[in-house]
Amino acid sequence: MSTVNHLFHLAFPVTDLEAARNFYIDILGCKTGRESDKWIDFDFWGHQVVAHLVSPEDHPAAATNGVDGRAIPAMHFGPILAWDEFEALQAKLESENVDFVVEPYVRFENRKGEQATMFIADPSGNHLEFKSFRNIEMLFAKDDELYL
């Protein structure tokens, strides 16, 4: 059996490749990999995410779902960070005056799956969620209460 950690690859649309480059490098601290005039590979916390240039009319609209009393973007992605990494990123985003789609807060407090979470959007309107669990063992834990 392999002991290699599984990595993920995600391709997502952007309407301005240079704005995406600046956001993912300057704000989030990502490094780049291969690229062309139509796409850029980013090292996103060790995972490969690829920004693909699309016309604005081809970029999908963002729907939301209610979770924990907030309107959460239905389409989003992001890493699960250690608690101190989450706090450091939150401080960096605040210092860069990045607007939060969902302000940082602790979700499901004192329940299974308790986590810090925050949402931002990139320049193309793609939503990113950053989260951290007080106890990573609770990542997939079930709770008897509904998460509404």
pLDDT the model gives residue 30:
98
> What are the angstrom distances between the C-alpha of 79 and each of 35, 44, 110, 133?
22, 8, 22, 11
Predicted confidence (pLDDT) per residue in 59-110, tens digit: 988 899 988 888 989 999 999 999 999 999 999 999 999 999 999 999 888 8
Closest C-alpha among 92, 89, 72, 71 to residue 80: 89
Name the residue ranges covered by the structural domains of the chain. 7-57, 60-148
> What are the angstrom distances between the C-alpha of 68 and each of 51, 91, 105, 113, 124?
30, 23, 11, 12, 26
**Given strand 76-77, what is the order of strands in its sheet?**
76-77, 127-133, 115-121, 100-107
Count the neighbouring beta carbons within 10 Å of the beta carbon of residue 104.
19
Tokens of 61: 């609209």
pLDDT of 1 higher than 60: no
7-57, CATH topology level: 2,3-Dihydroxybiphenyl 1,2-Dioxygenase; domain 1 (3.10.180)
Length of the chain: 148
Pick the CATH number of 60-148 from 1.10.630.10, 3.10.180.10, 2.60.120.260, 3.40.50.2300: 3.10.180.10
Query: What global pTM score does this model have?
Result: 0.89
Q: Does the fold of domain 60-148 match that of domain 7-57? A: yes
Predicted confidence (pLDDT) per residue in 19-71, tens digit: 999 999 999 999 999 999 999 999 999 999 999 999 999 998 889 998 888 89
